[in-house]
Amino acid sequence: MKWVSPWRLRRMGILGMNCRNRDFIGSYNARSLFPLVDNKLKTKLLAEEFEVATPRLFFVISAQHEIAAIDEKLAGLEGFAVKPAKGSGGKGILVIVGRRGDKFIKASGAEITIDDIRRHMSNALAGLYSLGGKPDVVLVEDLIQFDDAFQGYSHEGVPDIRIIVFKGYPVMAMLRLATHVSDGKANLHQGAVGVGLDIATGHALRAVQFSKPVTHHPDTGRPLNEIKISNWRDMLLLASRCFEMTGLGYIGTDIVLDKTRGAQLLELNARPGLAIQVANGRGLLPRLRHVETLKPRAHRSPDARVDYAMKNFGVDGI
Amino acid sequence: MKKPSKAPFYSIVAGLIVLGLVTAWLRHTTMDIPFFAGDHRAVWMIEARVDFVANGDEVTVNLGLPYDPPGFRTFSELAASPGYGWSVIEENQTRRGEWTKREAQGAQTLYYKAQFVGGLYASETLTEAPPVRSVEWDGPQATASSQLLEQALSLSSSPKSLARELLKLINDTSPDQNASLMLAGEPDKANLLEKLLRQAGIPARIALGLYLEDARRHQSLTRMVEVYDDGQWVLFNPYTGAQGLPDNLLLWHRGDSSLIDVIGGSRSRISFSMIYQTVPALELAGAQATDSIFSIIGVHRLPIEEQGMFKLLFLLPLGALVVVFMRVIVGLKTSGTFMPILIALAFLQTSLLLGLFSFIAVVAFGLVLRTYLSRLNLLLISRIATLVVLVIFIISVLSLVGYQMGLNTGMTITFFPMIIIAWTIERMSILWEEEGPKEVFVQGGGSLLVAVLAYLMMQLPAIGHLTFNFPELNLVALALIMMMGQYTGYKLSELRRFRAMVENDASVDNKG
């Protein structure tokens, strides 16, 4: 049992949950804007409107009776992802990477039947995965063919890049790598590896799994400190543009790097978690407070904001 | 973004705390509601016994009763006298009890019992001086009294000091000639003092006081003299010369009217017995007249059944306070935000161990059934509904088994909110599938821990007493909840959660 003194955490600038909820989510995220990010369908339509790249939507299921006919709709699709529109924290996401006869192959390699998919969709429609159990709709969208750069880094799942965007400035980033224990999911508390990324360069800073530092991927054994994200600036730009798109001051953007289509917005989160600080080995607060001191119209364009962030929030910066 | 000023918020919080505490204090002082459940008040139970011999005709017995005696409050009274009609007549700042009977023969005994709460601050003010009746003395006494008064007047400045000086003269171990003469004519010192004062033009009256002493029987009343001075009656003991009202003296009868009138009887006697009792202070408060505006806030006027409901209802804010504390300050994970309060309320109805056991049993059994349900591939809504029905069955079976085993508390398991249990089972089951059993134990354990803590708080007799009798104290709980809503510091759990960063820091330090 080891504890840290609250004064030490404060000195390190660690953002705590109460502070995040009140000073940032409460102060900068208007409640009325939450549905934009809590509903993946709305996010997607918004992203298309703002020409923000996002995985292609195949179709939407919004009523139980449509589920009977999904085998026809899925007929031409080799790989796809089933997502409840109001799911949070990766709940209810089913990723099918291929087929074997009648069976579908999950990202983890397990085989499931069309009936399993039907049941999953039915549960999702009834609101099993949504906040407060409200009825939901189901999105079926294109699978990400992740970039070869990540080959060997993500086990049984798509690696994604979480960038915290505050008032349009990308302030902290991490790469999330699925592992066998995380069951192909990219959630840190489920055992995914988090790799802190330098905002200035997109190079790996350090990596953690279950809050403990790791140097190599636990499943593939590849050294994590060699990671560097190509087209890093495009990533930051995509994340930064989400501020104009949603109007939310404090958001977490989840971005994936597709082999052919480049950086794509996977989803947005109005209540991004705090584990990114552990992955980066530093606290968010100094950067957030710094952005708060900037003049409201200091950097109007996403480009200017990204440049400012790359200059100031690098590993040797704030 | 500019930070809004915190002043209005803190003034609201401070206002709520002050409002809650002040209202509670005012209600405590004006209505005498005790702050502690076990508080007992000293009460004097006094029994007046009237004996007389009836002549066989109609009988009316009229007894002077205490009217708002200074330093005391009447708590209850009753007259126990078989065959007699009884009523209390209240007029002109006097109270008289009247026993009546059409026909009575032989020795009769009537009882009047009353309880008095003592130890109150005695104060009364009169607006105008009562009229003074003139005094008639016999020849020699008239001269002696004038001289006596002259002597005392020269040494005094006010009615009070005059009475003191007169008492000194009367009570002297070797009284002078005038005093001896007066005492010879009027052996009762109380009467003598009253008459002398009246002669001096000062309003004075006889008061009959009862010295209170535990378990005394056949006490009689002591004659005292009240002297009007500057809007107040000042009491003197004519035998000792002591001024003021002693704590243990109850003024039973004041003024000129007779203490007891018996029509249709003779040889009447009155004697007093008394005992010292302790009565729960709350009972006292409840029994007292509730004219005070503060009594509106209290729920004592409601029917008992509603009161029982309020007893539970007023505990909820405290439960909410515990939940907020455990989640905001400690950072414990619970399944469902206010589920723990409902579990804790259920524990209040059962008992802690039995409640815990039945809750875990119901949820565990429900989880097993739920895994079978998932194979049936039902729609979510009907699955939850099925769970609700199953939970009712599980609870019924548990209750019946408990009853057969002789645990009569088994039946009270039904107080658990079924629908919430059904949802809990569903959530736990999903949690189990998605995050593994560990998360189920973390959240389930967190809920139970918070529930147990809330229960331990709520079952404290002092807490139940305070929240029920001083519902306004919930404003203080509200203020605390609001204040915790402003807390942006670290949760206790985060001090552990982020320890990895410090460990890493340390290793870097060591290397560098």
Question: How many CA atoms lie less than 13 Å away from B142 in the CB half-sphere?
Answer: 6
Please provide the average confidence, as pLDDT, over all residues in chain A: 89
Could you give the percent of chain A with pLDDT greater than 90? 50
What are the residue ranges of helices labelled H in A63-191?
Answer: 70-73, 114-126
Query: Which of A3-12, B298-307, B403-412 has maximum average pLDDT?
Result: A3-12
Chain B CB contacts of A115 under 8 Å are 377
CB nearest to B381's CB, from A119, A126, A212: A126
* Average of per-residue pLDDT across A292-307: 91
Confidence band of B282 (pLDDT split at 50, 70, 90): low
Does A218 have pLDDT greater than 50?
yes
In this structure, the answer to whether residues B463 and B359 fall within a common structural domain is yes
Does B127 have pLDDT greater than 50?
yes
What is the domain count for chain B? 2
CB nearest to B496's CB, from A3, A19, A27: A3
**Residue B509: per-residue pLDDT:** 41
B498·A4 Cβ contact <8 A: yes
Domain residues for B107?
39-127+211-219+241-287
Region of poorest pLDDT, from A35-39, A107-111, B268-272 = A107-111
Does A226 have pLDDT greater than 60?
yes
**Residue B511: per-residue pLDDT:** 36
Cα B470 to Cα B261, B279, B309, B319, B460: the distances in Å are: 47, 20, 15, 16, 15
3-state secondary structure (DSSP) of residue B4 = coil
* Average of per-residue pLDDT across B363-371: 89
The residues of B whose Cβ lies within 8 A of any Cβ of A are 1, 328, 331, 377, 379-381, 430, 434-435, 485-491, 494-505
Closest CA to A192 of A54, A90, A39: A90
* Average of per-residue pLDDT across B338-349: 82
Confidence band of B300 (pLDDT split at 50, 70, 90): low
CATH at residue B261: 2.60.40.2250
* Average of per-residue pLDDT across B128-132: 76
**Residue B504: per-residue pLDDT:** 57
Could you give the percent of chain B with pLDDT greater than 70? 87
The string of pLDDT tens digits covering residues A57-79 is: 999 999 999 999 888 888 888 88
Whether the complex's predicted ipTM is more than 0.85 is answered with: no
Instruction: List phi, psi (to 5°) of A113.
Output: -100, 170
DSSP for B108-163 reads EEEEEEEEEE--PPP----SSPPP-------HHHHHHHHHHHHHHHHT-SSHHHHH
Choose between B216 and A286: higher pLDDT.
Answer: A286
Does B396 have pLDDT greater than 70?
yes
Six-digit token string for B90: 């209240």
Cα B303 to Cα B13, B306, B307, B309: the distances in Å are: 33, 6, 6, 10
Where in chain A are the domains? 12-53+147-312, 57-142
Burial class of B51 by CB neighbour count within 10 A (0 to 12, 13 to 18, 19+): middle
Task: Identify whether B440 is part of a domain.
Answer: yes
Does A147 have pLDDT greater than 50?
yes
- A12-53+147-312 CATH: 3.30.470.20
**Residue B287: per-residue pLDDT:** 58
Does B280 have pLDDT greater than 80?
no
Taking a C-beta distance cutoff of 8 angstroms, is the pair B227, B233 a contact?
yes
The residues of A whose Cβ lies within 8 A of any Cβ of B are 1-6, 8-10, 12, 14, 16-19, 22-23, 27-28, 64, 91, 115, 119, 122-123, 126-128, 133, 190, 206, 208, 211-213, 274, 277-278, 281-282, 292
In this structure, the answer to whether residues B340 and B447 fall within a common structural domain is yes
In angstroms, rounded to a whole number, what is the distance separating the alpha carbons of residues B331 and A274?
14
3-state secondary structure (DSSP) of residue B102 = coil
Cα angle A253, A257, A259 (rounded to 5 degrees) comes to: 160
**Residue B54: per-residue pLDDT:** 87
- All residues at 6 or more sequence positions from A316 whose CB lies less than 8 Å from its CB, including other chains: none
**Residue B1: per-residue pLDDT:** 43
Region of poorest pLDDT, from A77-81, A243-247, B58-62, B243-247 = B243-247
* Average of per-residue pLDDT across B73-89: 81
**Residue A107: per-residue pLDDT:** 78
Q: How far is B488 from chain A (nearest CA, A)?
A: 4
The string of pLDDT tens digits covering residues A97-137 is: 889 888 999 877 889 999 999 999 998 998 888 766 678 89
Does A31 have pLDDT greater than 80?
yes
Choose between B298 and B309: higher pLDDT.
Answer: B309
Task: Identify whether B11 is part of a domain.
Answer: no
Q: Residue type at B265?
A: G
CATH architecture of A57-142: 2-Layer Sandwich (3.30)
Chain A CB contacts of B435 under 8 Å are 190
**Residue B412: per-residue pLDDT:** 56
**Residue B510: per-residue pLDDT:** 39
Does A179 have pLDDT greater than 80?
yes
In this structure, the answer to whether residues B261 and B360 fall within a common structural domain is no
Chain B CB contacts of A10 under 8 Å are 490
Does A146 have pLDDT greater than 50?
yes
In this structure, the answer to whether residues B265 and B337 fall within a common structural domain is no
Does B272 have pLDDT greater than 70?
yes
B379·A119 Cβ contact <8 A: no
B489·A6 Cβ contact <8 A: yes
**b/e burial code for range A68-105 (CB count within 10 A of at least 16 → b):** eebeeebeeeebbbbbbbbbbbbbbbbbbbeeeeeebb
Which residue, among A1, A7, A9, would best test binding to B if mutated, counting the most B CBs under 10 Å from its CB? A9
Find the residue in B nearest to A208 (Cα). B500
Find the residue in B nearest to A20 (Cα). B488
Does B508 have pLDDT greater than 50?
no
Task: Identify whether B76 is part of a domain.
Answer: yes
Task: Identify whether B327 is part of a domain.
Answer: no
Does B452 have pLDDT greater than 70?
yes
The string of pLDDT tens digits covering residues B171-187 is: 777 777 777 777 777 77
Choose between B29 and B11: higher pLDDT.
Answer: B11
Could you give the percent of chain A with pLDDT greater than 70? 98
Does B113 have pLDDT greater than 70?
yes
Cα B79 to Cα A292, B82, B117, B260, B265: the distances in Å are: 80, 9, 18, 15, 19
In this structure, the answer to whether residues B366 and B431 fall within a common structural domain is yes
3-state secondary structure (DSSP) of residue A128 = coil
Please provide the average confidence, as pLDDT, over all residues in chain B: 81
In angstroms, rounded to a whole number, what is the distance separating the alpha carbons of residues B431 and A279?
25
Find the residue in B nearest to A274 (Cα). B498
Q: How far is B424 from chain A (nearest CA, A)?
A: 12
* Average of per-residue pLDDT across B193-221: 82
In this structure, the answer to whether residues B345 and B255 fall within a common structural domain is no
In angstroms, rounded to a whole number, what is the distance separating the alpha carbons of residues B90 and B193?
29
3-state secondary structure (DSSP) of residue A205 = strand
**Residue B126: per-residue pLDDT:** 67
In this structure, the answer to whether residues B110 and B44 fall within a common structural domain is yes
CB nearest to A9's CB, from B485, B486, B495: B495
Task: Identify whether B497 is part of a domain.
Answer: no
B501·A2 Cβ contact <8 A: no
**Residue B507: per-residue pLDDT:** 46
Q: Residue type at A127?
A: G
Task: Identify whether B263 is part of a domain.
Answer: yes
A213·B504 Cβ contact <8 A: yes
A3·B495 Cβ contact <8 A: yes
Confidence band of A159 (pLDDT split at 50, 70, 90): confident
Find the residue in B nearest to A7 (Cα). B490
In angstroms, rounded to a whole number, what is the distance separating the alpha carbons of residues B133 and B141?
18
